[in-house]
Amino acid sequence: MNPDHEFSPFLPEIALVPLWTTAAGPVTGRGTPVDLESAELAVELVAELAGSTVRLAVPEDLEPAAFAALADLPVPDCFAFSGWLTEHRPLLLQDGIAVVDGWRFEHDPEHGLLVAPEESSN
């Protein structure tokens, strides 16, 4: 076995909660407002957010560079202390798209979250 490529059953994985940006602030896919600055979230909202979680793993879903970009996103205190959303990161989508450190994340209603390198505008 090549020591540089040892098998591990523990692949890096990240949990994202897609939120849509609006003039009033972020909302869930159902349109429920989410105050990411609050100290605590209502149990019903936590359940809704947990139900919309997208889990992405390296290498099945993400390249390591995309994983690293997402891992740098902060975990809000209201997520960290909620129990169900600990270590979850909000992914703020503008018109269904988020760009994080050169990576494009697009919500597709049929296929889920699509990930690709951001195209240069040259």
DSSP H/E element including 118:
none
pTM: 0.85
Residue-wise pLDDT for 61-84, tens only, equals 999 999 999 999 999 999 999 999
The pairing of strands 54-57 and 13-20 is antiparallel
Is 8's pLDDT higher than 90? no
Rounded CA Rg of the chain: 16
Residue-wise pLDDT for 86-119, tens only, equals 999 999 999 999 999 999 999 998 998 999 998 8
Cα separation, 89 vs 47, whole angstroms: 15
Q: What are the structural domain ranges in the chain?
A: 12-96
Cα separation, 91 vs 58, whole angstroms: 18
Nearest to 19 by CA among 85, 82, 110, 65: 85
DSSP H/E element including 75:
none
Strands (E) across the chain are located at 13-20, 54-57, 88-93, 97-100, 103-108, 112-117
